[in-house]
Chain A
Amino acid sequence: GDSVTQMEGPVTLSEEAFLTINCTYTATGYPSLFWYVQYPGEGLQLLLKATKADDKGSNKGFEATYRKETTSFHLEKGSVQVSDSAVYFCALSDQGLWAGNNRKLIWGLGTSLAVNP
């Protein structure tokens, strides 16, 4: 079945460092790919998404490119801030963005990021 594999954490960086969190997936079709973020004490929220090959999702300085050839969707940020400290989840939906009454997400394990000043 479909699956998502994320790099293990925790990841600890200094402020202004470059961030990469690896995410690879296995899917039989053409899934949509997501990064969700969970800040301390808060619920999960969508960070960015991509719906087809070569799409680049971006938000708050984060980027991820849907690479079908390598089945990857790595999250990157050029210069992290202390406020980026959170847990990041990679996820896929094999039912696209619009799936009526039956949308499910398949999740990675999550990667904890701590950014030190």
Chain B
Amino acid sequence: SAVISQKPSRDICQRGTSLTIQCQVDSQVTMMFWYRQQPGQSLTLIATANQGSEATYESGFVIDKFPISRPNLTFSTLTVSNLSPEDSSIYLCSVDTGGYSPLHFGNGTRLTVT
């Protein structure tokens, strides 16, 4: 299994600013994912964070709005840029430890944009 530390757990940000969310894993993992959970909606995959290369974004998500870093096999950041109230969501980091293991999730970051 994997233990994931996600920071911050919550934040309130002003419109137009940015928030960077950190995800630290206690073991090396190949695949890290970033999800968004908007109020009343299901989890939506934003992107897959690849170590040593650019992230792979899902339809509807772009690098300019959600830049991702993956400097090594245990760490990733997601930045939500140019915040608007529509970005108010829970953002979740997830890792795949490979094989038949289930996905592991961080506790999430609850973002409120005012």
Contact check, A105 vs B103: say whether CB atoms are below 8 A apart.
yes
Segment from A12-20, A41-49, A73-81 that makes contact with B: A41-49
Contact check, B92 vs A44: say whether CB atoms are below 8 A apart. yes
Q: Which range holds the interface residue count of chain A?
A: 20 to 34
Enumerate chain B residues within 8 angstroms of A34, measured Cβ to Cβ: 102
Q: Are A4 and B42 in contact (CB under 8 A)?
A: yes
Looking across the interface, which residue of chain A has its beta carbon closest to that of B90?
A38
* Number of chain B residues whose Cβ lies closer than 8 Å to a Cβ of chain A: 23
Give the nearest-CB partner of A48 in chain B: B102
In the assembled complex, the Cα of A46 lies from the Cα of B45 at a distance in Å of: 17
DSSP class of A's interface residues: helix, strand, loop or mixed? loop
CA distance A43 to B43 in the complex (A): 13
Q: Chain B contacts of A42 at CB under 8 A?
A: 107
Confirm or deny: B40 has a beta carbon within 8 angstroms of a beta carbon on chain A: yes
> Is the Cβ of A103 less than 8 Å from the Cβ of B42?
no
B residues less than 8 Å from A102 (CB atoms): 48
How far in angstroms is the closest Cβ of chain B from A70? 21
Known A43-B106, A97-B100; contact A89-B43, beta-carbon cutoff 8 A: yes
Check B106–A104 contact: CB distance below 8 A: no
Indicate whether B99 reaches chain A with its CB closer than 8 angstroms: yes
Considering the chains assembled together, what is the distance between the CA atoms of A45 and B102 in angstroms? 8
Indicate if the CB atoms of A110 and B42 lie closer than 8 Å.
yes
A98 with B92: CB separation less than 8 A: no
Q: Type the 1/0 row for B91-110, where 1 means its CB is closer than 8 Å to any CB of A.
A: 01010100110111111100
* B contacts, CB < 8 Å to A: 4, 6, 30-31, 40-45, 48, 92, 94, 96, 99-100, 102-108
- Between-chain CB contacts (< 8 Å), 10 pairs: A4-B42, A34-B102, A43-B107, A45-B104, A46-B102, A46-B103, A102-B48, A103-B96, A105-B103, A107-B43
Q: A89-B42, A109-B40, A110-B42 are in contact. List 10 more A-B contacts (CB 8 A).
A: A43-B104, A43-B107, A44-B94, A46-B103, A89-B43, A101-B31, A103-B31, A105-B103, A108-B42, A109-B41
